[in-house]
Chain A
């Protein structure tokens, strides 16, 4: 990406696609100048609404006021927990009722290295355009669960039942270690089925292989490079769709 700063205007008016937005937001977290610029450009775009106000129907006001009576306002954001070093990867084993695992045959890792092409697909991998990812993220029935790890890393799984696919987006994942890899799994009826690998690097977007429509959860484990037949439960993190 040539100049990420130049996206500030498009970001301010929601004119980025999901993946660009994710990237830019990561940049924003580190660039005070862009944050300031985005804020000021949003003031400017807001001005545009002065030109054509339209009174909404009164019934809408009534519905809304009835709604808020049943919804609790969120608490303010308080001081964030300081990030710890990302020396070692995963966290708390989630264990769950992860029992056995079924056939591995023909696992395909599906990744999209959109940025610099640094992660070259290995033999047997299928590279999917971001379009497939975007479709899942934008599906009307998309549901997401985010898991924040002890070291501050984050993994968000978004699934669309109608598309039968799930996407995992990670941020700040620790390196799994020399000769190791993060393997992804889809859990169905308590069993884990291999669903691909995370490429190297802390931040990734991966379309899981396999039918995600009926999956109950996504598992992430640390395995020797090349993957395992059965998940290493010691390292397992399970992200449960029931929490979507």
Chain B
């Protein structure tokens, strides 16, 4: 395994598209909770691209992003038994852990930058290799983009700054020149619209 994979692996053959059904993440989590390392590897393969894409958007720096994803996935392994299917999908549970780790990382970096100006220049942004992700115009991506169009511009901006920027709603309000206290409403409204358009979480 030396090549990064782009396909949603996790299906045993590693065959892109068609054929094998997508792996049952809930089942893989249950097996992981019992210490099944192979199940965890399959789980990782099934979610890694989405999780890493998310971390990279929030953290930016690739080497830090790798650390964050590694820590987050280690948490997933550790906490697998705590996944509760009554509360949502396995993917959502897992991405919540990953997102939180990414946000924690950027906020603590920000806190230490404020304290110590010599802190290596914002971890100098490294150009990340985007060849693998290029032109991934999957059906899903298109669907998401369409759904995002149903949001008002300010809802979309607020949501993206919060989710991908890792900013607090108060910071988002300032960035978008919104009255304090309204960004949280925009974020919530945007999520509700997205949820209803995509028909998830109900």
Contacts and interface: CB of A to CB of B under 8 A. Distances in A.
Classify the secondary structure of A's interface with B. Answer: helix
Interface string B170-202: 101000000001011101111110110010111
B201 A44 contact: yes
Binding site of B, secondary structure by majority: helix, strand, loop or mixed? helix
Nearest to A63: B70
A14 B140 contact: no
B195 A40 contact: yes
Given A15-B162, A48-B163, A55-B48, A61 B144 contact: no
A85 interface: no
Contacts of B163: 13, 15, 45, 48
Interface in B101-125: 103, 107-109, 111-112, 115
Contacts, number: 223
A111 to B, nearest CB: 21
Interface stretch (A64-72, A211-219, A235-243): A64-72
Contacts of A73: 32-35, 77-81
Given A10-B184, A63-B70, A68-B74, A55 B52 contact: yes
A214 B194 CA distance: 49
Contact of B191 (A13, A20, A54, A72): A13
B3 interface: yes
B66 A56 contact: yes
Nearest to B107: A138
A41 B195 contact: yes
B112 A41 contact: no
Contacts of A135: 111, 115
B4 interface: yes
A139 B109 CA distance: 9
A124 B100 CA distance: 39
Interface in A27-66: 35, 39-58, 60-65
Interface string A130-146: 00001100111000000
B52 to A, nearest CB: 4
Contact of A9 (B87, B100, B184): B184
B82 A74 contact: yes
Contacts of A139: 108, 111-112
Contact of A42 (B34, B53, B92): B92
B133 interface: yes
Contact of B92 (A8, A43, A60): A43
B28 interface: no
Contacts of B192: 9, 41, 44
A76 interface: yes
A61 B184 CA distance: 36
Nearest to A9: B188
Given A6-B185, A60-B69, A76-B82, 10 more contacts: A6-B188, A7-B184, A8-B188, A15-B168, A39-B88, A41-B188, A41-B201, A45-B194, A53-B133, A55-B48
Interface of A: 2, 6-10, 12-17, 20, 35, 39-58, 60-65, 67-69, 71-77, 134-135, 138-140, 163
